[in-house]
Amino acid sequence: MTLLTLDWILLIEKLVLIVVIILASLGIALYTTFAERKVAAILQDRPGPSRAGPYGLLQPLADGVKMFTKEDIIPNAASKWLFILGPGLAMTASLMTCAVIPWGGTIELFHRKIDLQIADVNIGILYIFAVVSMGIYGIMIGGWASNNKFSLMASLRAASQAISYELAMGLSLIAVLMVTNTLSLGEIVKQQQTGWWNIVYQPLGFLIFFICALAECNRTPFDLPEAENELNFGYHQEYSSMKLGFYLFAEYINMIMSSAVMASVYFGGYDIPFVDDAHVYASIGNWAALIQVGVLLAKVVGFIFLFMWIRWTIPRFRYDQLMNLGWKSMIPLALFNMLVTGALILLRMNHWHF
Amino acid sequence: MNTTQILFWFLSGLALVSALMVLLSKNPIHSILWLILVFFSISGHYILLNAQFLAIVNLIVYAGAIMVLFLFVVMLMNLSKEKEDQKNVWMKLSGIIAGGCFLVSTCNVIFNAQVVSKELAGKTALLKEGSIGLIGPLGKALFNDYVVPFEISSVLFLSAMVGAVVIGKKD
Amino acid sequence: MQTFQKMQALTNRAKAVDRKPMTFLERIYLWNILKGMLITFSHIFKKKPTIRFPEQTRTFSPVFRGLHVLNRDEEGRERCTACGLCAVACPAEAITMEAAERLPGEENLYREEKYAARYEINMLRCIFCGLCEEACPKDAIYLSETFTPTNFTRESFIYGKDNLLIPNPKTEAADLAKAKGM
């Protein structure tokens, strides 16, 4: 068997990394649900959850126990396997995104250089796009399999919304890719460590990307798939127990992952601001990588707070407003941004002569 | 067998089985879901051929966008079993002819490839050889050697868009 | 003939509605969204008016009308004579009672010859208006400064004499002092 020619140590190293990253993102997602409630409370002059444990810190565990112990209902008229497949798909798709995000620099352990990135594929950003578009299936299948008209309508809304905003998102990313000349997220972050962050080159692109990320995560100004007053509960109306928990959880993980992508593409990823990272590496070695992870997490937390802040400020759009914004404002703006970026890059290649 | 061969046979089997299931399943929604699985296994084949860009684009465009639209249409059409049996004999015949033509031409391509390049004979996949599926070489090929077909196909898309706008306009 | 005049403004807070077409800055909405977000952000630093109930309690005014108590006199005898005036006064018809005659030897329990053998208030019907308190000629019923605790069944909200009577000042002086919060 030539299976043994595999680099077993590399395999083990990657497996450990995958487990650590997935567990970490699940943990962060757990506490993001807590943070959501706390942020909402603080913005509304309330104390928020504060009973379970000190400062209510055990609240997510209590929520989890509640979710697990509730009765798991599968409606009679539902298509059973698809009904189960839906939340699983949503969860898988949102967790798969973390594979290409560079969570930090390299750590040296046992004389091996370990990249804190599961897979530095040369199409990193496109991979994220593919996985995000898979996430829609979770919602669509779940909504259809419930055999409920509200769920079906919500899942159709979700799908059309996701497809519409994916276009503008892709167009705004093309402009960044024109600046960076690479699709690999690791490479994009490394470029930003030595030069300026991409937000300097692409402010408009970032704005478009951010708005589209809100829409892709079904966050509030765009949370029409779960608009309670129109669709009762949206696509997860028939779901209960941990299947519902999976859907809710997938939404929060999506939020974390899109924050991480935004931080990596536009805000230098794990780059420590105002400091030359190479110097830090030379002086404290492995600790530098940990600091970088911390810096990236801080940026992610900042974005998550922004997401929540927006959620508790802006009311939901109407559906036609959503489509108008997507097709009539975002896509033309993204195209304009792309054209201007292309023109400037051409000009710079020509040494600023027409 | 090495790992790539195992992967190749697994993906091929998966692709064939799910392609069969597309045809055999009674429920059109299930057909579409099997079709998505077909696209996934084809993307796996692309990755084995070191064509990561093609693999991902296949996923984004076909599995991610077009299949969602298929699901959309099927969910909204509300197909039922009673309506399904009223198919024309001529439709079936033309379907068989079209499928047969496609089968003959693909077989022809496969056998030709084995005759033309001897190194392909008896091999499952060309792992990590060739770079046409990577984004750089593919872009260069599309915009240097095949500019005219590329642009003509974009005109085709433009005409499709214009057609959609014309149909969608109220008057 | 009286002519219809423009109504005089009661306050000076009235504002004319601005119907000018939106400027460019207003039309892209981002600026207004930013302003809204600044408003919500400023609420982070505001004082929270929440009262954390079981630990903290709201201070009630002296005229607060809460849960009813049935009074006893200084010697620990029940004051209520089951005259029924409170039940008549009650607009929610929450009070029912049954009268009984005092037997010889019960003079230390009941003040008058007639007493309430059964006295029930349905706390789910009660609107805490305090009319029973005003109607009572014997100063037997009072509204205290606590409110009805929660419960799981409807029956448990029908308070009988065992829930309503205050502790006997003679025999249960300590309980009475505790109930008064002293």
Q: Smallest CA–CA separation between A306 and chain C, in Å? A: 10
Chain A residues lying within 8 Å of B76, measured CB to CB: 156
Higher pLDDT, A173 or B114: A173
CB A197 within 8 A of CB A136: no
Residue B93 has which token pair? 């015949």
Q: Which domains does chain C have, with CATH numbers?
A: 68-179 (3.30.70.3270)
Closest chain A residue to B43, measured at CA? A130
Cα distance between the two ends of chain C: 69
Neighbours of B111 (CB within 10 A): 10
pLDDT band of A1, cuts 50, 70, 90? very low
CA distances from A351 to A168, A341, A347, A348, C131 (A): 30, 15, 6, 5, 92
Asked if A47 and C41 come within 8 Å (Cβ–Cβ), the reply is no
Chain B residues lying within 8 Å of A137, measured CB to CB: 36, 68, 71
Asked if C33 and A45 come within 8 Å (Cβ–Cβ), the reply is no
Mean per-residue pLDDT, B158-166: 91
Q: Smallest CA–CA separation between B12 and chain A, in Å? A: 20
Asked if A47 and C40 come within 8 Å (Cβ–Cβ), the reply is no
Query: At a CB cut-off of 8 Å and minimum separation 6, what does C72 contact?
Result: C78, C79, C165, C166, C168, C169
Chain C residues lying within 8 Å of A313, measured CB to CB: 33, 36-37, 39-40
pLDDT over 70 at A214, yes or no: yes
Chain B residues lying within 8 Å of A133, measured CB to CB: 59-60, 63-65, 68
Burial of B128 (0-12, 13-18, 19+ CB in 10 A): exposed
**Is the CB of B68 inside 8 Å of chain A's CB atoms?**
yes
pLDDT over 60 at A2, yes or no: no
Mean per-residue pLDDT, A159-176: 86
Closest chain C residue to A50, measured at CA? C52
pTM (2 d.p.): 0.79
pLDDT digits (tens, 9 = 90+) for A80-123: 888 888 888 888 888 888 888 888 777 777 777 777 777 777 78
Q: Smallest CA–CA separation between C33 and chain A, in Å? A: 7
Mean per-residue pLDDT, A163-174: 87
pLDDT digits (tens, 9 = 90+) for C79-125: 888 888 999 999 999 999 998 888 888 888 888 888 888 999 998 99
Chain A residues lying within 8 Å of C41, measured CB to CB: 43, 309
Residues C83-113: b if buried by 16+ CB within 10 A, e if exposed: bebbbebbeeebbebeeeebeeeeeeebbee
Q: Walk across the sheet containing C114-122 and list its strands.
A: C95-101, C114-122, C158-159
Which of A38-42, A95-99, B112-116, C61-65 is predicted with the least confidence, judged by mean pLDDT?
Answer: B112-116
pLDDT over 90 at B159, yes or no: yes
Residues forming beta bridges with residue A61, ordered by sequence position: none
Q: What are phi and psi of C97, to 5 degrees?
A: -155, 165
Asked if A47 and C37 come within 8 Å (Cβ–Cβ), the reply is no
pLDDT digits (tens, 9 = 90+) for B39-86: 989 888 888 877 788 888 888 888 878 888 888 788 777 665 555 556
The ipTM is: 0.77
Asked if C48 and A312 come within 8 Å (Cβ–Cβ), the reply is no
pLDDT over 60 at C25, yes or no: yes
- Report pLDDT for C111: 86
**Is the CB of C37 inside 8 Å of chain A's CB atoms?**
yes
Q: Smallest CA–CA separation between A37 and chain C, in Å? A: 14
Return the top range by mean pLDDT from C2-6, C107-111, C135-139.
Answer: C135-139
Q: Smallest CA–CA separation between A122 and chain B, in Å? A: 8
Mean pLDDT, all residues of chain A: 83
Mutate to test the interface with C, among A43, A316, A336 (most CBs of C within 10 A): A43
> Does A contact C via 3+ CB–CB distances below 8 Å?
yes
Asked if C46 and A45 come within 8 Å (Cβ–Cβ), the reply is yes
B3-133 is classed in which CATH architecture?
Up-down Bundle (1.20)
* Segment holding A299, helix H or strand E: helix A286-311
**Is the CB of A165 inside 8 Å of chain B's CB atoms?**
no
CB A169 within 8 A of CB A208: yes
- Report pLDDT for A247: 86
Asked if A309 and C33 come within 8 Å (Cβ–Cβ), the reply is no
Give the start-to-end residue ranges of the domains of chain B.
3-133, 134-171
Burial of B117 (0-12, 13-18, 19+ CB in 10 A): exposed
Query: At a CB cut-off of 8 Å and minimum separation 6, what does B102 contact?
Result: none
Residue C43 has which token pair? 């609420």
Chain A residues lying within 8 Å of C47, measured CB to CB: 45
Closest chain A residue to C28, measured at CA? A329
pLDDT digits (tens, 9 = 90+) for A288-303: 778 888 888 898 999 9
Chain C residues lying within 8 Å of A43, measured CB to CB: 40-41, 43-44
* Segment holding B73, helix H or strand E: helix B67-77
